[in-house]
Structure 1
Amino acid sequence: MRKYWMILFCAGLLVSCEPSFLEQKPDKRLLVPGQLSDYQALLDAVPEGMNTSPGMQALATDDFYCLPVAIDGLPPAERGVYLWERDPFQGKSSQDWDLPYKCIFYANVVLSGLESIQADSASQQQYASIQGSALFFRAFAHYNLAAAFCAPYDSSSASSLPGIPLRLTADVNQISDRGTLQATYDQILSDLSKAEALLTGPVGFTNRPSGVAAKALLARIYLSMGEYGKALIYASKALGLHDKLLDYNTLNASARRPFPAMFTGLNPEIIFHASMPGMDLPILTQTGVDSSLYRSYAPDDLRKTCFFVDRGGGVFGFKGSYLGSATLFAGLATDELYLIRAECYARAGQRTAALSDLNALLKQRFKAGTFKELVAGQDSLLNLVLSERRKQLVARGLRWTDLRRLNKDPALAVRLQRLTSGGAISLLPGDNRYTLPIPDPEIALSGISPNPR
């Protein structure tokens, strides 16, 4: 255990944005563990950010609104992102950039170290699991960075747009350029495909990647890319292994935190645990969810009381994190898979299959005995699926990606608006501010090109 904390300490120094840390050369023996259990311990470092996903983009969507009187009191970065400012980080670093790269560094330390270990027959499965987990974490972090700090993926332009710096080794002296967006997604998909093949054994803890998690993440990524046929394949593969849903009738909807606490194993929907960093805006009493979203839930829909709390004055706050706490859930769960598959079915003209997935999900969301199965024609089916996706996956960090991909279709595009004490501010579809700026310290340190704002 002492070695484990020494590894984390040295790794933390190396991934810091301060150049002075990069100039220090700790003894490499302190950095590289020697046993499979040590590598597993590195990947289990939940408090060190291994299961953390960027969260700032969630503040930039129409999931939340903040009353004008409270906006000026927000932390500067949160206020800047919420108001779509040109320089929301105000020249400073961002944990949404730093934490994923910290996760990538740990994953690379593991992958590099495994090369020096010869697994015997008794440890081959453990070796494969650790290797697959490291590849999964690296892909998860690279994708989360791309979803926030790169332009939306489009196959027609991905080869000409900049990606993110791909860190594929633990060498902190190596400077990575941005490459192309296509190269970024190619690497992410390559890592995940390898991880899927390696992660074949059972997993006892949701902070650890699994074969189901790899398939679920592939489904999420392909959906964001507009590759609906592939998203359908991987969502179906994942659901073929894990299709459990939580019956909301078993929850105490009036409780402050209706959903089971993380790591209790009491929410069967959770496939992979990930959380956003703590943020002030979602928990303020002056912050509410979009009023039209709140009104869209039927009276017998338990999500209306499991997800939201009346904060008075017509403000309904969000309380429905799948972590069972104020921290927002950003992991993988079966409800998302049902909705991915339903959307892909709808886009493929498979109306009966799409409605079957929607009804299977919603039956577990309504008061017992009140749910009436949905019926829709092909012309209205996609909008119905997207409406349920909006209602189920609120505050998951997925809305930003959805807006970016759906805004390409004029029929589905959304204009966002903020009300401030100085008037209304709008964000139009296709605006450059749908891509977060790369923090200035990273640009100064590596020399990579900034994002247009």
Structure 2
Amino acid sequence: MTIKITINFVLLLVVVGLGSCKKYLDVLPKGSKIPTTLADFEALMRDEYGNHRAPVTQAVLLLNDRWESQGNLNYYPLWKANYYWDESVNRINLNLTDESAYYTAYAAISTFNLILQYAPTATEATEADKNMLIAQAKLARAMHYFILVNYYADTYEASTAASKLAVPLIESAEVDAPHRQVTIQEMYDHIISNVTSAIPDLPVQGATIVHGTKGAAYAFLARVYLQMSDYDKALSYANQALAQNDKLFDYTAYYQQYKTQIEQAGMYPSLPTPRGYDYIENYIMMHGEVIYSKREWYLRVDRASRFETGDAMLASRWKIRTVGADTYYYAITTGRFNEGGITTTEMYLIKAECLARKNDYTGAMDALNAVRVKRIFAADYTALTAASTKEALDHIRRTKENETLFGIVAFGDMRRFNKDPLYATTLTKTENGTTLSLKPGSHMWTMPIPLGAIKNPGNGTIQQNVNQ
């Protein structure tokens, strides 16, 4: 699949500088030629860097799901505040220069709004082709709104969602179009309405892995409804997604394939990641912080300890290494990673949680073990059982936290469980001999909306969702 798409007819103004005087809404495609044909609009859908990227860096750092060097932490003060769980720091002020999740998402939303607004009159296309592209734009836009509402607003709770603010809802590609900062409930309603209306026009197979399909839409709705704690609907959509694709990648076989290179003492290979465009588990691809081919993020030693004994996925992706005073799990796979998209593993684990919530512990463990048998070495594998909802969910959470590293799902799940005293978790770690902790009720679990957006809200108003 071609990574860098050249679009001669349009130049997308992608990210508004956080210190710039420009309004954050001024992300309208401009250029020497206005898109007119369906092929023109479809090229926008293929723009991976502009439209299929989800840099949720601060969430990953807050979870401590990746190891970061002291140099990076000192250079980026917002990174340091989140990584060290420093509640005394005013992150609103730091977020003037350190954040990109907001602007990346709204730049993509602006492009999808352009497609939705003008593709209905595109030339050189059948009505079916136009409807398919419009449906794919609806799904892609909804995925970005889901990231925004789970990053910059409180987690969904039915009792408060209608009274707490989320983020601006923008449905027009026009500069200075009016907008409104909607409630969390309104944003979820908008997301669900858009995706359900798109499903009839989505294909079973997309032109590429960034093009939405029926399976991707079902899978995304399963994710959304799980975040809303609507287990019946989440289970229904997870099953529909698995009916489209239920394949699981075998990491035990992958390890055996590269065993000699992995186990060679003192060597840190660059193995081809299976988690790229052709990953058999993919429903839809969305890049993380970057899209170029790179080495995967490193893991903290204490984070690696939360994997099961005999986890072939851990052994295949990271290898412990000491460089100077730093010890961490060094990444040994390279390529492009589906950190922001959706996979079959997530659907199996959503299914497992929903069944556990409905007291079907056997069904829940069957779904979980279907994943685990592809991850745990045979010598270490034992099928898990559960006799209570909590026991089942503890098993499921461990696997899911490891499977959803570096994306919005791990962050959203932690926030969701933190609202329930039975499952709330206080994160702890030791840094330079000092014990640090992050409590479930900390204000740090909601990221501040960038100050640049607050000061330059376009044709509307934006209220900050946190105090610092």
Task: Report the TM-score, using the length of structure 2 for normalisation.
Answer: 0.84
Q: Percent identity?
A: 24
The secondary structure found in structure 1 opposite 2:234 is: helix
| 1:224 counterpart residue number | 227
Instruction: Report if the CA contact (8 A) 2:56-2:289 is conserved.
Output: yes
| 1:262 counterpart residue number | 276
| 2:90 counterpart residue number | 86
What is the CA RMSD across the aligned residues, in angstroms? Answer: 3.2
The residue identity in structure 2 corresponding to 1:60 is L
Instruction: Report if the CA contact (8 A) 2:10-2:35 is conserved.
Output: no
Going from structure 1 to structure 2, the CA distance change for 1:114 and 1:158 (only over 3 Å counts) comes to: same
The secondary structure found in structure 1 opposite 2:130 is: helix
2:44 to 37, 42, 45: 42
| 1:306 counterpart residue number | 316
Alpha-carbon offset, residue 172 of structure 1: 1.9
Structure 2 matches for 1:14-413, cutoff 5 A?
18-20=20-22, 30=32, 32-66=34-68, 70=71, 72-84=73-85, 85-87=89-91, 89-92=94-97, 94-117=99-122, 123-251=126-254, 252=258, 254=262, 255-257=269-271, 259-260=273-274, 262-263=276-277, 265=278, 267-278=279-290, 288-289=299-300, 291=302, 293-294=304-305, 296-299=307-310, 301-312=311-322, 315-317=327-329, 319=331, 324-325=334-335, 329-368=339-378, 371-379=381-389, 380-413=391-424
The secondary structure found in structure 2 opposite 1:179 is: strand
Give the total of aligned pairs.
Answer: 439
CA distance in 1 between counterparts of 2:464 and 2:384 reads 46
Between stretches 213-222 and 425-434, larger displacement belongs to: 425-434
Instruction: Report if the CA contact (8 A) 1:15-1:172 is conserved.
Output: no
| 1:451 counterpart residue number | 465
CA distance in 2 between counterparts of 1:44 and 1:6 reads 13
Measured against aligned partners, the alpha-carbon deviations of 1:40-77 in whole angstroms (never above 9, x if no partner) come to: 1011001224343533211111423557x556434333
Measured against aligned partners, the alpha-carbon deviations of 1:55-106 in whole angstroms (never above 9, x if no partner) come to: 3211111423557x55643433322332344316342362111000011000
Instruction: Report if the CA contact (8 A) 1:51-1:273 is conserved.
Output: no
Alpha-carbon offset, residue 395 of structure 1: 2.9
Between stretches 326-335 and 242-251, larger displacement belongs to: 326-335
Instruction: Report if the CA contact (8 A) 1:219-1:235 is conserved.
Output: yes
Alpha-carbon offset, residue 333 of structure 1: 0.5
Going from structure 1 to structure 2, the CA distance change for 1:429 and 1:250 (only over 3 Å counts) comes to: same
Going from structure 1 to structure 2, the CA distance change for 1:197 and 1:369 (only over 3 Å counts) comes to: farther
Alpha-carbon offset, residue 144 of structure 1: 0.6
The residue identity in structure 2 corresponding to 1:83 is Y
Task: Report the TM-score, using the length of structure 1 for normalisation.
Answer: 0.86
Instruction: Report if the CA contact (8 A) 1:270-1:334 is conserved.
Output: yes
Going from structure 1 to structure 2, the CA distance change for 1:30 and 1:155 (only over 3 Å counts) comes to: farther
Measured against aligned partners, the alpha-carbon deviations of 1:163-191 in whole angstroms (never above 9, x if no partner) come to: 11011010121242312111111111111
CA distance in 1 between counterparts of 2:361 and 2:280 reads 27
CA distance in 2 between counterparts of 1:25 and 1:295 reads 42
CA distance in 1 between counterparts of 2:412 and 2:27 reads 39
CA distance in 1 between counterparts of 2:27 and 2:79 reads 35
CA distance in 2 between counterparts of 1:227 and 1:215 reads 14
Alpha-carbon offset, residue 31 of structure 1: 6.4
Alpha-carbon offset, residue 26 of structure 1: 9.3
The residue identity in structure 2 corresponding to 1:336 is E
Alpha-carbon offset, residue 351 of structure 1: 1.5
